[in-house]
């Protein structure tokens, strides 16, 4: 595990590489801010990821020609970029994304992730976003990690050994939180109508956004509900 510097990006990334970026609240923003500054030295870089919380400066039109995003999940900024034709969207079931990496349907050159500092045995935890990150880290030729002491250490199949990390930089920063959107009158009305279709004992699959939040807000008098979640 070598320390990453501003001058050593070229030791790990080459023109034409496909780079995976970590997910959700574990998106390595500190590390990606440094990558964006170095992106001008590369050409034809493809970045793939699912949902990431926070800003996505790697989607900036200023990087056109150097970096192009191919997202498996569209957030606000990636949706804007895809609609403008400066980014791509590849619809895929979340459960199938690890298979794309492991079976090399979408081969990865580099995985840029966030992890906890290593423990006494050298193991770092992927923390709050194991999801497709573990498969990406296991499949990529190179792993670059933002070691973040603020990342919670989670247990289970969430570990990566420091010897599996090619380069790292320690950046201690708070994890970005998902902000619950303010419900407008239209969303509230839709939520109320949908809630009338839900009976006690139903199992719900909830997505992200105003409408799912509005529906949940109207289910306070229901009972025995089951929930399947994704992100």
Q: In this structure, are residues 57 and 32 in contact, taking their beta carbons and an 8 Å threshold? A: yes
pLDDT at 64: 84
Whether pLDDT at 230 is above 70: no
pLDDT at 231: 55
pLDDT at 107: 98
> What mean pLDDT do residues 16-42 have?
96
Domain 2-170 indexed as CATH 3.40.1080.10: yes
Q: List all residues 6 or more positions away from 157 whose beta carbon is below 8 Å from its beta carbon.
A: 130, 134
Q: Which phi and psi angles does 82 have, rounded to 5°?
A: -65, -40
3-state secondary structure of 194: helix
pLDDT at 127: 97
What is the domain partition of the chain in residue ranges? Answer: 2-170, 185-228
pLDDT tens track for 65-108: 899 999 999 888 899 999 999 999 999 999 999 999 999 999 99
Q: List all residues 6 or more positions away from 143 whose beta carbon is below 8 Å from its beta carbon.
A: 110, 111, 113, 137, 160, 164, 165, 166, 167
Whether pLDDT at 31 is above 70: yes
Q: In the chain, what is the straight-line distance between the N-terminal and C-terminal CA atoms, in Å?
A: 30
pLDDT at 180: 81
Report the percent of the chain where pLDDT is more than 70: 99
pLDDT tens track for 97-137: 999 999 999 999 999 999 999 999 999 999 999 999 999 99
Kindly name the residue from 46, 164, 173, 230 that is annotated as catalytic.
230
pLDDT tens track for 184-227: 999 999 999 999 999 999 999 988 888 999 999 999 999 999 98
pLDDT tens track for 16-25: 999 999 999 9
Q: Does the annotation mark 230 as catalytic?
A: yes
pLDDT at 178: 82
pLDDT at 227: 87
Q: In this structure, are residues 30 and 57 in contact, taking their beta carbons and an 8 Å threshold? A: no
pLDDT tens track for 129-183: 999 999 999 999 999 999 999 999 999 999 999 999 999 999 999 999 888 888 9
Q: In this structure, are residues 130 and 26 in contact, taking their beta carbons and an 8 Å threshold? A: no
CATH number of 185-228: 3.30.750.70
pTM score, two decimals? 0.87
């Amino acid at each position: 595990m070598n320390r990453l510097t501003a001058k050593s990006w070229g030791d790990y990334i080459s023109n034409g590489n496909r780079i995976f970026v970590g997910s959700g609240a574990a998106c390595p923003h500190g590390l990606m801010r440094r990558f964006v500054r170095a992106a001008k030295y590369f050409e034809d870089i493809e970045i793939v990821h699912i949902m990431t919380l926070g800003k996505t400066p790697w989607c900036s039109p200023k990087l056109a020609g150097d970096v192009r995003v191919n997202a498996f999940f569209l957030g606000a900024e990636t949706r804007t970029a895809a609609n403008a034709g400066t980014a791509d969207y590849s619809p895929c079931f979340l459960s199938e994304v690890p298979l794309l990496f492991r079976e090399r349907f979408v081969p990865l050159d580099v995985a840029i992730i966030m992890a906890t500092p290593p423990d006494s045995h050298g193991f770092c935890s992927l923390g709050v976003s194991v999801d497709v990150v573990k498969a990406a880290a296991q499949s990529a030729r190179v792993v670059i990690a933002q070691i973040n002491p603020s990342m919670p250490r989670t247990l289970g199949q969430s570990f990566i050994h420091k010897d599996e990390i090619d380069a790292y930089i320690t950046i201690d920063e708070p994890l970005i939180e998902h902000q619950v959107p303010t419900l407008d009158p239209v969303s509230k009305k839709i939520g109320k109508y949908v809630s009338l279709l839900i009976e006690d004992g139903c199992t719900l699959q909830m997505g992200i956004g105003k409408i799912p939040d509005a529906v949940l807000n109207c289910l306070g008098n229901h009972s025995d509900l089951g929930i399947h979640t994704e992100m």
